[in-house]
Every structure is written in C-alpha cells, then in structure tokens.
C-alpha cells in the first residue's frame, strides 16, 4: 500500500506538475521495491477519491513518463462532477443550514472559482474539463477513458441522515456522481464497473454516525476483488 501526497493537505490537482510529482513517487516505489506495476489499484475517500480518479484519467491519457496505468480504480463517496458539486456548495452557502457545511462550501467554492477562473455558470468548459465525470457531457466526459478499466464506486446514500444533520438531499449527495459514473461506464460497455451501496456502515473513528466515511468499504473484499481481476 502506498500513501501518496504532494504535501498539500488540500490538494485539488489543478496543476500538471502535481500529477508529474505523483507519477514520480509511484515509479520510484515500483522500481526500488519491485512492485507489480500492472496490478495497481488507485483508490481514495472523498476528495482523495477524486484525486485517485483524476490521476487515473491522467495516466490513461498517456501522460505518465513511466507508463503508469491503473489496473483498477475505487472511489468512496467522492465528488466527481464538479458542475454539480459547485452548485450544491453554492446552495449550501445560501441555505445556511449547518455551520460545518457552510464553512466547507465557502472555502471550496473560493478555491474552485480562483483556479477554474469563475463559476460553472460563466466558465462551464473549465469545470467540464476538471471533472473526472460530467453528467452534462457526451459519454460523461473524461470518465470515458475508464471504459476498459475495472471501477468501483462506494457510497452509503442515507438521505434521511443528510436531511436531518446537514439540510441536504439527493441533489447534494456524492451518491449521484457515483451512480451516474458507473451507469455511464456500463453504457459504454464496461462490465467491470460496479456501484457498491451500503446501509448503516458509515461511522467516524470516534464512533459517531456519518455515512461519508471509509468505514463503508470492506477492505478485505476490495483486495480480493482486485486479485480476481484478469
């Protein structure tokens, strides 16, 4: 298992140089430890899942200097469509239902608008290009590059919890992106694209209930899935 970081806690992978940095780390690890480069699983939770999928797409575009390619990609409750994501964050700011939600929405929209040069209303192309998956685009945008790559999206769509605790509903949940991305890949002929839905498994390490958690993933079964792939 490799834990990759660019050193930026709030990395969004806006710059090509950050992809190159991650590519170099993987190549170094593979070379020095004789790792099976053809069996790599890129995975992550929330924004780390977004990064894992975007890095996979970057590699599948042929941009890796070392030929890095994922055997599979797995994301856990990650935002993938940043047109939808920006809209739900903007709505959260206006609704003012939860201080935590409003704080996240405020700084994330500011980062997106600064780096993508405006909102998706005024610069939709930038958000389309940035998104790992985009519902508005033909074939889902960049996700089309995963049509031959094993893919899993984990999510626990407990809408009742989101309504009661955050004032959010289905339109605000990353589960929309997960389901739509898997559906698009299946339409494109990817029989190895799977949507994994759970119920009642989302818990923070301190025991608090929260469906947006890596605890919904069965780690052992995920590894077994990877090993079964041809």
* Model confidence pLDDT, tens digit, residues 133-177: 999 999 999 999 999 999 999 999 999 999 999 999 999 999 999
| Structural domain contains residue 146 | yes
| Structural domain contains residue 92 | no
What is residue 9's predicted lDDT score, i.e. its pLDDT?
Answer: 87
| Structural domain contains residue 125 | no
What is residue 230's predicted lDDT score, i.e. its pLDDT?
Answer: 86
| Structural domain contains residue 123 | no
Best CA proximity match to 176, nearest among 112, 80, 97, 57: 80
| Structural domain contains residue 9 | no
Q: What is the CATH number of the domain that holds 154?
A: 3.40.50.1820
| Structural domain contains residue 189 | yes
| Structural domain contains residue 113 | no
CB count within 10 Å of CB 142 equals: 23
Six-digit token string for 69: 């390619």
**Which residue spans within the chain are E strands per DSSP?**
41-45, 72-76, 150-155, 193-197
Strand partners, 10: none
CA distance 153 to 74: 6
Q: How many domains does the chain contain in total?
A: 1
- By CB neighbour count within 10 A (0-12 exposed, 13-18 middle, 19+ buried), where does 189 fall? exposed
| Structural domain contains residue 205 | yes
pLDDT in tens, 184-202: 999 999 999 999 999 999 9
- Structural domain including 214 reads 16-80+139-162+172-228
Query: 56 and 73 in contact (C-beta within 8 Å)?
Result: yes
**Which residue spans within 78-177 are E strands per DSSP?**
150-155
- Give the chain's residues under pLDDT 50: none
């Amino acid at each position: 298992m490799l834990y990759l970081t660019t050193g930026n806690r709030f990395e969004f992978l806006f710059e090509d140089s950050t992809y190159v940095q991650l590519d170099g780390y993987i190549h170094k690890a593979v070379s020095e430890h004789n790792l099976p480069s053809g069996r790599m699983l890129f995975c992550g939770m929330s924004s780390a899942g977004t990064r894992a999928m975007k890095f996979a797409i970057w590699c599948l575009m042929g941009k890796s200097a070392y030929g890095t390619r994922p055997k599979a990609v797995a994301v856990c409750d990650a935002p993938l469509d940043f047109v939808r994501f920006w809209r739900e964050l903007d709505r959260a700011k206006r609704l003012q239902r939860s201080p935590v939600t409003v704080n996240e929405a405020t700084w994330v929209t500011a980062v997106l608008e600064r780096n993508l040069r405006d909102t998706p209303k005024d610069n939709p192309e930038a958000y389309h290009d940035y998104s790992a998956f985009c519902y508005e685009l033909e074939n889902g945008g960049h996700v089309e590059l995963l049509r031959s790559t094993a893919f899993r999206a984990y999510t626990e769509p407990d809408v009742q919890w989101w309504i009661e605790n955050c004032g959010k509903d289905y339109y605000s949940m990353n589960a929309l992106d997960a389901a739509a991305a898997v559906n698009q890949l299946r339409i494109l002929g990817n029989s190895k694209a799977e949507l994994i839905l759970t119920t009642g498994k989302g818990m923070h390490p301190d025991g608090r209930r929260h469906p947006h958690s890596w605890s919904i993933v069965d780690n052992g079964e995920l590894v077994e899935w990877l090993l079964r792939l041809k």
